[in-house]
Amino acid sequence: MVSPFRVVTPTTVPEAAAEMERLGDAARIYAGGAELLLLMRNGLLEPDYLVNIKQVPSLHGINWDGHVLRVGAAVTHRQLERDPQVHAHAPTLGEAEHHIGNIRVRTQGTLGGNLAFADPHADPGTALLVHDASVTVEGPRGPRQLLLDDFFVSTYETALEPDELLTEVQVPPLPFGWGWAYERIERFYRPTVNAAAAIAANDGRIAEVRLAVGCVGPRALRLRELEEKLQGLNLADAKRVIGESSEYLVEQLEPVGDLLGGADYKIHVTGVLLARAVEQALARTGDRDDRQ
């Protein structure tokens, strides 16, 4: 059973921020409830108030503004999974969204909730990192924008202040001609490990590459040193370098053994998924649909 609480339903972002400031630590933002209600039902979280942001119209849009895909924090995974703009401009995100939980979780859960919850076993964050996505958070001191890479801090921990809420996610498209991939293996319907890659190729070699890995340690991460090492390599050499990187992966990803897999296993799988992602992304270079 859920212990009793009260609900407040603002209709604008400033109202929501004012409520978070007024209610302080006793309040939690309620967007989709897919993760929040689970914790509350298990007694792991007992907020006195839920600030229900579902009635804030500005948080529900998916808009391509000609440069960036803008996703409101209360947009559901199902909306993202089905939106042609998402698949056209941020296919990595579209693919990640398709794999989240199950059809009911995707119907209920929101992108903003997923990112703000910062469960390390999540799909969208890893995909968004290779898009160099950013987020807008708003509080009583006004809005601020930060890179998703700076928003994620650790397990269940983000750069959000207690009186701030995540309002929008900005997803820049990959540059023209880049290939992409999102790979995961799962157990219990959550990814054990996931990996995303975005690659520009030149004559069959990697000209530029972005790599991200999630679920292994406290947060999803870009692997910037490995990205540099892969520049100029063909697929076979790239796979060899990835295969020789387990020490670097351990150091960067700080693997944590959990119900989904031991630390050694996760590092092994990370290497396998990175190699698959690089191969898939390379194969997709140059054939991206034109952006509308």
Partner 1 sequence: MIGSELRLQTVQTAPVSLMVNGQPWSGDVPVEEVLLDLIRSRIGLTGTKRGCESEVCGACEVLVDGAPVSSCNFLAFEANGREHTTIEGVADGDQLHPVQEAFIRNVAAQCGYCTSGQIMSAVALLRENTSPTYEEIAQWMVGNICRCGCYPAIARSIMEAGEELRAKGGANGQG
> Which residues are near partner 1 by CB under 8 A?
1-11, 15, 19, 33-34, 37-38, 41, 49-50, 54, 78, 101-105, 107-108, 188-189
Q: Is residue 170 a contact partner of residue 69, using CB atoms and an 8 Å limit?
A: yes
Neighbours of 53 (CB within 10 A): 31
286: three-class secondary structure by DSSP: coil
Q: Name the residue nearer to partner 1 (CB basis): 78 or 89.
A: 78
Q: Name the residue nearer to partner 1 (CB basis): 102 or 292.
A: 102
CA dihedral 243, 247, 252, 258 (to 10 degrees): 90
Tokens of 13: 């972002």
Which has the closest alpha carbon to 48: 25, 32, 30, 31?
Answer: 25
Tell me the C-alpha distance between 54 and 72, whole Å. 11
CB of residue 258 to partner 1, shortest distance in Å = 16
Q: Name the residue nearer to partner 1 (CB basis): 131 or 190.
A: 190
Tokens of 285: 């270079």
CB of residue 126 to partner 1, shortest distance in Å = 20
CB of residue 24 to partner 1, shortest distance in Å = 13
All residues at 6 or more sequence positions from 201 whose CB lies less than 8 Å from its CB, including other chains: 179, 207, 282, 285, 286
CB of residue 98 to partner 1, shortest distance in Å = 8
193: DSSP letter: E
Q: Name the residue nearer to partner 1 (CB basis): 99 or 131.
A: 99
Q: Name the residue nearer to partner 1 (CB basis): 29 or 105.
A: 105
CB of residue 116 to partner 1, shortest distance in Å = 18
Q: Name the residue nearer to partner 1 (CB basis): 176 or 189.
A: 189
156: DSSP letter: T
CB of residue 58 to partner 1, shortest distance in Å = 16
